[in-house]
Structure 1
């Protein structure tokens, strides 16, 4: 198990994209500032997608333009196509993420194309990124199950991960989009992908629909994964994955890692405060068990 883990905070994008309440640019920037001050060095701040499909992300360009991109914190954004990439470059982004699914049906529901078509769609995006010295991260969704197909073949997960790496993604985040996996399934999935790709290039991304996220992450850490995605307050979900709960909460993840003696550089009390801030802005209670306990 690694001595340190890099936490990628996804609340400003993956967390807020599924909320009925759209928060202001000022609120998003305040959240990002609090996350940065808590020690999080990678914060996904939005996505350049169609505002008709995801209206909560319509102001991502305004958010990016007001960030200090030279301050040492990485601020990736999600980019689905060339049009989004052009907008991202105009805003000055330094890192993007592209996303593919291991499930054909989910790919069609989410981005209206097959898996192979999605990979082809990303080729010019990655080429534009490389030409402009923009780093590219890759997401693979539905690695342990699909809301439409239920089971997803392991070879499909491996294949999509390999193709994203071959495109030029420096890191592949493996996502249990509907939160249906269990620890041994997570372990076997990571082992399968690590048979093709360096374990150092893999990240874990778990939703906590059935309360298995932390256990699944621990299983991945034991395999050598050292990067984990999370969201303060347990925010998240997916508009195209009915019933999926939020991401594993950053508060609970940081507490577990600290208990394991694993360095994250994250200040737990500040992370809890950030989670309480955005939960209040959304008019909801934080899903983090650690936050609920500390704030009781």
Structure 2
């Protein structure tokens, strides 16, 4: 059955740099620096953030200030804050901090799930039931995230049926949205098509979000495939920050400014101002003390012109 859909006229971009981007960086930003970066992104028009993760500070020390970061942004209006939680304790902390949604994450491969959260897939899903009960009636939304949805660095190919089974489990938990995570950049356009079509068959009530890494250089090609399938939600990281501390070879997410540039040039609305986003990326680069992998921040938008008189004329 043909499941192609019209290309969206508006795309929702979720900024994950503060969580997925910073968790794998050797330099740990202060809460003050994180707040400055978030405010710059909000000024650029970003309205949805995966802001942090309520994990053990010993496991991911870069995110040890999760509660403090949420509190420091309490005055920001009109922005949705989500946070990853691995277990009931993390959900309790997230609820107390005042986030808008929690993201329950599980890997589609047993080996990666064991490395990531030290339990098998069944145990992770069973623990989510208690979290859903805890959040019932709180007004905090439950969202799902499936890591290694396109392939596992330890096991190789991941059966699409395993992704579908987890998606159905999230439906049973009351989730309306699920993110398919390309944890180590193993997604390809055919795999994107296969996963989305399968999800529409087995979990049609779920709204999918696509989360690509640019490990093998085709992150935006995968976005194009998602757009052709009518997917209107994507996650990206400012400057291309990112990686996974529990996946060898994982590199950064697709860069937010590269994604917004692509969408803008296609006439797709994001509500995000590209020049302001590039400025925010410059701040991220200065805070990290290094050049970041995003390309649009280096070259500028397509019509960023140079002064011809400033360039030497060829002689010969």
User: Which band: TM-score by shorter chain?
Assistant: over 0.9
Task: Establish whether residue 63 from structure 1 lines up as the match of residue 61 from structure 2.
Answer: no
1:142-157 pair list within 5 angstroms:
142-157=148-163
- Structure 1 residues 69 and 97, CA, compared in 2 at 3 Å: closer, same or farther? farther
Partner of 2:247: 241
Look up the SS of the partner of 1:211 in the other structure: coil
Runs of 4+ aligned residues of structure 1 deviating over 3 Å after TM superposition are none
1:197, distance to aligned residue in structure 2 (A): 2.5
Q: Does the Cα contact within 8 Å between 1:200 and 1:225 map onto a contact in 2?
A: no
Partner of 1:115: 121
1:70, distance to aligned residue in structure 2 (A): 6.8
Question: Which of 171, 174, 178 is equivalent to 2:177?
Answer: 171
Task: Establish whether residue 268 from structure 1 lines up as the match of residue 293 from structure 2.
Answer: no
Look up the SS of the partner of 1:86 in the other structure: helix
Task: Establish whether residue 287 from structure 1 lines up as the match of residue 293 from structure 2.
Answer: yes
Partner of 2:85: 79
Tell me how many residue pairs correspond in the alignment: 296
Partner of 1:158: 164
Alpha-carbon distance in structure 1 between the residues aligned to 2:246 and 2:112 = 8
Alpha-carbon distance in structure 1 between the residues aligned to 2:199 and 2:176 = 15
Let me know the Cα RMSD of the aligned residues: 1.5
Q: Does the Cα contact within 8 Å between 1:7 and 1:229 map onto a contact in 2?
A: yes
1:130, distance to aligned residue in structure 2 (A): 2.1
1:172, distance to aligned residue in structure 2 (A): 0.3
Look up the SS of the partner of 1:202 in the other structure: strand
Q: Does the Cα contact within 8 Å between 2:171 and 2:205 map onto a contact in 1?
A: no
Alpha-carbon distance in structure 2 between the residues aligned to 1:86 and 1:182 = 37
Question: Which of 86, 91, 94 is equivalent to 1:88?
Answer: 94
Question: Which of 196, 202, 208 is equivalent to 2:208?
Answer: 202
1:199, distance to aligned residue in structure 2 (A): 7.5
Partner of 1:40: 46
Alpha-carbon distance in structure 1 between the residues aligned to 2:268 and 2:74 = 29
CA deviation string 1:217-260 (max 9, x = no partner) = 11011111110000010011001111011100000100111111
Alpha-carbon distance in structure 1 between the residues aligned to 2:205 and 2:137 = 27
Partner of 2:309: none
Alpha-carbon distance in structure 2 between the residues aligned to 1:222 and 1:39 = 25
Question: Which of 212, 223, 238 is equivalent to 2:229?
Answer: 223
Alpha-carbon distance in structure 1 between the residues aligned to 2:217 and 2:92 = 39
1:96, distance to aligned residue in structure 2 (A): 1.1
CA deviation string 1:97-138 (max 9, x = no partner) = 110111011111111111111011111112212231101111
The alignment's TM-score, normalised by the length of structure 1, stands at 0.97
Unaligned runs of 5+ in 1: none
Look up the SS of the partner of 1:76 in the other structure: strand
Moved more, 280-289 or 56-65: 280-289
Look up the SS of the partner of 1:75 in the other structure: strand
Q: Does the Cα contact within 8 Å between 1:69 and 1:94 map onto a contact in 2?
A: no
Q: Greater CA radius of gyration, 1 or 2?
A: 2
1:69, distance to aligned residue in structure 2 (A): 6.5
